[in-house]
Homo-oligomer: A and B are copies of this chain.
Amino acid sequence: MDRYLRMTHQREVILDELRRSKTHPTADELYERIKKKLPRVSLATVYRNLEILSEAGLIKKLEISGRQKRFDWDPGEHDHVYCIHCQRVDNITLAAPAPEVEPMRQQGYRITGRRIEFSGLCPKCLRQQETKKTKGERAMACASCTTSKVSDTQRQVLEALANSPEACGSKELAAATGLEAKQISCQITALKNKGYVASPARCKYEITEQGKNVLG
């Protein structure tokens, strides 16, 4: 005897919206889409219902690496790949149909679930990566904090800042440049030292006049 579950309008829309998505959206992404149909929904409602629906087995909550959880309209058992660059998650079919079992109750555990998860670069990010020939930039990133001229990476960051209408955080810069958040903060520090970037508020950055000259 399961707990009673009402089919409210918002519940319906949430389920419907998830089912029509080919990707595995986060609660937040789903919320943005649902707002278009139900402008008054609360983010909490989306979270609540995703939780309830996955408890009821109608959908599945994916706890892939990373911060945000994603949701899958298909509650059946299957595995995933995620892109370490853009965080996208896709289904994947294993070559060996038999996953693998282990001596039941290994170490005294009673096993009730298993999860297999691959990671790598999705086609899109792969292409992007190849055209950018990253060179040894990454390891050198922090060493370049004091050189007077800006590196390619720093130029990228500066350009992103120049294009932003207002001060933005490192997350946005990471998204705009396609660089890792790690790198961003390091580059920001370097750029601040050079006087090309200013921080009007904590965690917010903007390009200085001096910085614009570098780009120009």
Chain A residues in the interface with B (C-beta under 8 A)? 1-4, 63, 65-66, 81, 83-84, 90, 92-96, 98-103, 106-123, 126, 136, 139-143
Contact = CB atoms under 8 A, between A and B. Distances in A.
Contact of A95 (B81, B84, B93, B101): B101
Contacts of A95: 100-103
B116 A114 contact: yes
A114 B106 contact: no
Copies in the complex: 2
A126 B110 contact: yes
B118 A109 contact: yes
A66 B63 contact: yes
A118 B114 contact: yes
Given A63-B66, A100-B96, A139-B2, A121 B116 contact: no
B122 A109 contact: yes
Given A1-B139, A63-B66, A66-B63, A122 B108 contact: yes
A142 B4 CA distance: 9
A99 B122 CA distance: 22
20 contacts: A63-B65, A63-B66, A65-B115, A81-B106, A81-B107, A81-B111, A84-B112, A92-B106, A92-B107, A93-B106, A95-B103, A108-B122, A108-B126, A109-B121, A109-B123, A109-B126, A114-B116, A114-B118, A115-B116, A117-B117
A65 B118 CA distance: 15
A94 B102 contact: yes
A23 to B, nearest CB: 12
Contacts of A117: 114-117
A80 to B, nearest CB: 10
Contact of A102 (B93, B109, B136): B93
Contacts of A81: 106-107, 109, 111
A103 B121 CA distance: 15
A121 B119 CA distance: 27
B108 A113 contact: no
